[in-house]
Amino acid sequence: MIKVSKLIHDYIQRDEDGNPSGTIRAIDDVSLDVKPGQFIAILGHNGSGKSTLAKHLNALLFPTEGAVWINGLDTRDQQYLWEIRQTAGMVFQNPDNQIIGQVVEEDVGFGPENMGVPTEEIWERVEESLKAVGMYEYRKKSPNRLSGGQKQRVSIAGVIAMHPRCIVMDEPTAMLDPSGRADVIRAALTLNKGEGITIILITHYMEEAIQADRIFVMDRGRIAMQGSPREIFSRVEEMQELHLDVPQVTLLAHTLRSRGVDIPEGILTSEELARAICPDAK
Ligand SMILES: Nc1ncnc2c1ncn2[C@@H]1O[C@H](COP(=O)(O)OP(=O)(O)O)[C@@H](O)[C@H]1O
Ligand SMILES: [Mg+2]
């Protein structure tokens, strides 16, 4: 689905007069592969290069060196631009910047309309997309009246309506309250497990990465760690060195273990911890 090979991205810095004064290397030799249908989480502290990488997956940025292929299409090849952006949809942090329609269903219809989808089919797509994110009842409402989490689900519906094979979400829950966050993650998981849509989720919330098939941890433009959630979250000290947390229950298990309690590393849920501490309990 996605192949990134030895990607380097330099931003050009400019002085007050707009003249180039230097470069910032935001992505420094990143290679990764994502298979169709995978749920990938990308973690990393601020400035580690996550958003820059995300923009490469949607051909919003182009490699300084190296290459990116989306469904086999090279992002450096201008003739594939439209097809790439249709294949890999993008959801950003702030839902207010992504919603343009006055009515929810209208907003969701914009994407397919721009693609030239016949009117009849647009309505089918709007219905199916709003249902997929649990927002169908709100189709006649004004987006202004929705909560942050509801707006973000409408933006996701707008992306789904374009029938992408992959959705890149760049901190889609950063501006939401806990219940809005949970709804958005649930919608992402449903699309992934139900429709087989590949999901790339960039997040600050470790709990949201627990259900990923694979996690990439970024640091200073590089991939510092990669593995399953259990593998990554077992490496508590390394994560802390990268200024990242692990899920609370993982940290608790790790602390208990370091004090001599006989439980495994990489505990991800409170149920697992309970079972590890007292295996006989129901
Ligand atoms: N448009 C830009 N121009 C110059 N530097 C940028 C630009 N966008 C990001 N950067 C720099 O690139 C690095 C990576 O940024 P970014 O990809 O936004 O990281 P993250 O999303 O992990 O916070 C940072 O040092 C940031 O300051
Ligand atoms: Mg970012």
* Ligand 1 atom at minimum distance from 170 CA: 21
The verdict on residue 112 lying in a domain is yes
pLDDT at 26 over 90: yes
CA count, 13 A, side-chain hemisphere, 63: 20
The verdict on residue 67 lying in a domain is yes
* Ligand 1 atom at minimum distance from 48 CA: 22
Six-digit token pair at 166?
Answer: 């992959």
Q: Which of 226, 150, 160 is nearest to 190 (CA)?
A: 160
d(CA 192, CA 211): 11
Q: Is there a contact between 253 and 262 (Cβ–Cβ < 8 Å)?
A: no
Q: Is there a contact between 26 and 221 (Cβ–Cβ < 8 Å)?
A: yes
- What confidence category does residue 130 fall into, taking pLDDT thresholds of 50, 70 and 90? very high
- What confidence category does residue 120 fall into, taking pLDDT thresholds of 50, 70 and 90? very high
Expressed in angstroms and rounded, the spacing between residue 49 Cα and the centre of ligand 1 is: 6
The predicted structure's pLDDT at residue 279: 83
| Mean pLDDT of the region 242-255 | 91
The verdict on residue 147 lying in a domain is yes
Q: What is the pLDDT of residues 37-95, one digit of tens each?
A: 999 999 999 999 999 999 999 999 999 999 999 999 999 999 999 999 999 999 998 88
Expressed in angstroms and rounded, the spacing between residue 52 Cα and the centre of ligand 1 is: 6
The verdict on residue 105 lying in a domain is yes
Q: Ligand 1: residues within 6 Å at CB?
A: 11, 24, 26, 44, 46-52
For atom 7 of ligand 1, the residue with the nearest CA is 11
pLDDT at 100 over 90: no
d(CA 233, CA 141): 41
The verdict on residue 234 lying in a domain is no
Q: Which domain holds residue 134?
A: 2-228
The verdict on residue 61 lying in a domain is yes
The verdict on residue 185 lying in a domain is yes
Phi, psi of 80, deg, nearest 5: -95, 0
Supply the CATH number for residue 42's domain. 3.40.50.300
The predicted structure's pLDDT at residue 282: 63
The predicted structure's pLDDT at residue 180: 84
For atom 3 of ligand 1, the residue with the nearest CA is 11
The verdict on residue 270 lying in a domain is no
Probe target for ligand 1 pocket from 7, 24, 168, with the most ligand atoms within 8 Å of CB: 24
Helical packing angle, 148-160 and 104-114, nearest 10°: 30
Probe target for ligand 1 pocket from 51, 169, 204, 243, with the most ligand atoms within 8 Å of CB: 51
Q: How many domains does the chain have?
A: 1
CA angle 85, 129, 202 (to 5 degrees): 55
Average pLDDT over the chain, rounded to an integer = 93
Q: What is the pLDDT of residues 140-191, one digit of tens each?
A: 999 999 999 999 999 999 999 999 999 999 999 988 888 888 988 998 999 8
pLDDT at 281 over 80: no
